[in-house]
Structure 1
C-alpha cells in the first residue's frame, strides 16, 4: 500500500483538483490521508465529500499546527508501506505512483529494497491564467547516477534544486527506523528544506525514474515578496537547519556540501530581491 498525505490549510480553490487527481491511481492499493490543518474555508467539507464517495480517502481534522506537524501526523497515521505527499494546490498526472513502484519492481525485484524513489516534475508557471505554461523542472535529464540504486554521493546535484520532496516517494520503515521527521514550525515555513537533506543523506538506496508526473503550481512573485517581507530570516533559519543535519550525520563529502553552500547564496538573492 502507498499512503498519500495531503496536508491542507485553506486550499478550497484547488483541493478538488488535487484529491481528484489521486483517485485516477487505479493499479495500486492506495490510502489518501486528507488532513485538515484548522482551515477556515470549505476545505474540510471538500475532504469529507470525497471520503463519502471513495473509501480510499480518510479525513483527519485537527487544530492548526503548520505543514511540518501535519505531515508528521500523516506519517504516524499512515498504513502504507510507502509515503507520498501531495500539496493541496498541486496535482498529479495519472499513473505516477503505480508507475514508480512498477519501475522499482521491474528493475530491482522488490521495491522495499529501496529507501526513496525520485522523479522530476512539471512546473506550472502563471497558473490559472491565460498565460499558464507547463515547463520541465531544472533537473530533468540531468540526474544520471553511475548506478541504480545510488546514494546522494553519486548524485549530489539532487540537493542543488528546488526541494521537490513531493515528486518522490519514501519507504515508511526507512523514515521510522532513521527517526526522520519534518521540523514542526508555524505555517509552511519551508519545512521541506531540512526534510530533503535528511532523507537524501540518510538513504542507502535511491532510485530515479526519469518521467515527470507531479504538477507544481509555482508561487507568484507577489506571494514570494509577501513571504520575504513577513519573515525575512526564515530561509536562513531553514538553511541553518540543513547545515545542522549535515553536521549531525558527519557528512564530509565536498560534493554534498557544495550545493548546500550555493543554496545559501540563492536564498540571499531571493531575500534581497523581495525586501
Structure 2
C-alpha cells in the first residue's frame, strides 16, 4: 500500500500538464501512486500521460469518455489504495516536498485530514514572471497547528474552501462514503466534497505554510466560465441533501451552510454573463427569502455589510440588481444597456437644465 494516492483529473490541459506531472513524479516522498483520470480529452493530454506512465510504474491511467469532474474524481477515489489521498488539478503544480511534509504531520497525529495554506498564481503575459498571492486558510493564527474536531466545529467552514491543499485518510473517506456530486457537465463539485470532510471529520489540522500552487490564468477554468449559471445552485442542493439526512448535523451546520452559499452565489454573480444576472438575482433572492422564513439564517455568522445586503436582496431583488449594476459590480455592458434605454434618456433630458445650472454654480 502506498503512503499517498494522488488523483489528477485531466481534461484538455496539454499546455499545463507537463509542469503538473513533473511536480508530482519528482516528489521527495517516493512511496506514492499517481492516478490520472483522462476525461475524454481531445488534445494531446493523453499522449503526455502515456509518456510519463511509460517511464514511471507508479502512474495509473484511466482513459474514459467525457462525463465530468465528479464522476472522474469518484473513479479515482475508488481505485486509490494509498493510506492518504491527495488531489492535484492538472493546470496546477505542487512543491516537491509537499506530500512528504503533509504525510508526516497526518500520520504522526493520526489525522482524518490535514490542509495547508497555498498560493494562487498567474503568469505575466509580457515577461512570463509568476505573480503570487498568498492565501491563508484562516485569518486567525491560533487556528493553526492544533488538532480540532471538524464535526463539532462548524465555524471551521469559514476556512478558504478547497479540496487540493491537503491530504485525506482513505479509510475515513470510505467509512463515510465521501464522494463528489456526479451531475454531468456541472462544475464546482469540490464544494460538496469539502463540506463532507468537515461534517464527518474527527481529527484535523491546518498548517500555516504554503505548498499548493493554484493557477488563475487558465482561460478554460470553471472560475472564468460565464455560461454555467446554475452549477453552484445544483451543488448546494446536493450539499443540503447530505446535511439534512441527520437532523443533528443539519442543526449544527445549517447556518454555515447558508453563509458559504451566500459567498459562492455572490461569486457566481461576478462570474456569469451579464445577460443572466437579473434572472440569477431573482433566484438568489427566492432561496434566501425561503431560508429566512424557515429560520435558517443566523445574523451572527455574517458581517454587518453582508447581513444588510442579504436583507436588501430578500426585500428588493430588483433594487439589489440595479444597485449591483450602478456600483460597477462587473456589469458594465448591462449598465450601458440601461443608459441606452428610453426611460434613462428621458430622465437625462428632464434633468438637463438643472444639471447645467448646478455646474455653473460650481
The answer to whether the superposition gives a TM-score over 0.5 is yes
List gaps (5 residues or longer) in structure 2.
275-362
SS of the residue 2:225 aligns to: helix
Contact 2:137/2:160 (CA < 8 Å) preserved in 1?
Answer: no
List gaps (5 residues or longer) in structure 1.
none
SS of the residue 1:61 aligns to: strand
Distance 1:222 1:61 in 2: 21
Identify which of 62, 66, 69 aligns with 1:67.
69
Q: How far did residue 155 of structure 1 move?
A: 5.0
Change (3 A) 1:207 1:51: same
TM-score using structure 1 length: 0.87
Q: How far did residue 143 of structure 1 move?
A: 6.1
Identify which of 63, 76, 79 aligns with 2:78.
76
Deviation digits for residues 140-179 of structure 1, max 9, x if unmatched? Answer: 5536349842122565444235431011211111111111
Identify which of 233, 237, 240 aligns with 1:240.
237
Q: How far did residue 68 of structure 1 move?
A: 0.7
Identify which of 89, 94, 110 aligns with 1:87.
89
Contact 1:15/1:88 (CA < 8 Å) preserved in 2?
Answer: yes
Distance 1:17 1:74 in 2: 21
In the other structure, the counterpart of 1:119 is 116
Length, aligned pairs only: 267
Structure 1 residue 7 and structure 2 residue 9: aligned? yes
Deviation digits for residues 42-67 of structure 1, max 9, x if unmatched? Answer: 10000000111122212121111111
Distance 1:145 1:272 in 2: 31
Change (3 A) 1:225 1:205: closer
Change (3 A) 1:104 1:83: closer
Deviation digits for residues 12-65 of structure 1, max 9, x if unmatched? Answer: 101111111012212341101111111000100000001111222121211111
In the other structure, the counterpart of 1:129 is 125
Q: How far did residue 226 of structure 1 move?
A: 5.8
In the other structure, the counterpart of 2:148 is 150
Distance 1:225 1:119 in 2: 21
User: Where do 1:28-47 residues align within 5 Å?
Assistant: 28-47=30-49
Q: How far did residue 224 of structure 1 move?
A: 6.1
SS of the residue 1:101 aligns to: helix
Distance 1:205 1:118 in 2: 12
Distance 1:155 1:220 in 2: 35
User: Greater helix share, 1 or 2?
Assistant: 2
Distance 1:221 1:11 in 2: 11
Distance 2:250 2:223 in 1: 35
Change (3 A) 1:225 1:53: closer
SS of the residue 1:213 aligns to: strand
Identify which of 268, 271, 294 aligns with 1:271.
268
Contact 1:33/1:57 (CA < 8 Å) preserved in 2?
Answer: yes
Contact 2:102/2:166 (CA < 8 Å) preserved in 1?
Answer: no
Tell which deviates more after alignment, 257-266 or 88-97: 257-266
In the other structure, the counterpart of 1:198 is 196
Distance 2:220 2:71 in 1: 26
TM-score using structure 2 length: 0.67
Distance 2:7 2:219 in 1: 27
Tell which deviates more after alignment, 140-149 or 83-92: 140-149
Distance 1:146 1:77 in 2: 32
Distance 2:112 2:221 in 1: 34
Distance 1:30 1:262 in 2: 37
Higher relative CO (CA 8 A, sep ≥ 6), structure 1 or 2?
1
Contact 1:197/1:245 (CA < 8 Å) preserved in 2?
Answer: no
Change (3 A) 1:24 1:225: closer
Q: CA RMSD in A?
A: 2.5
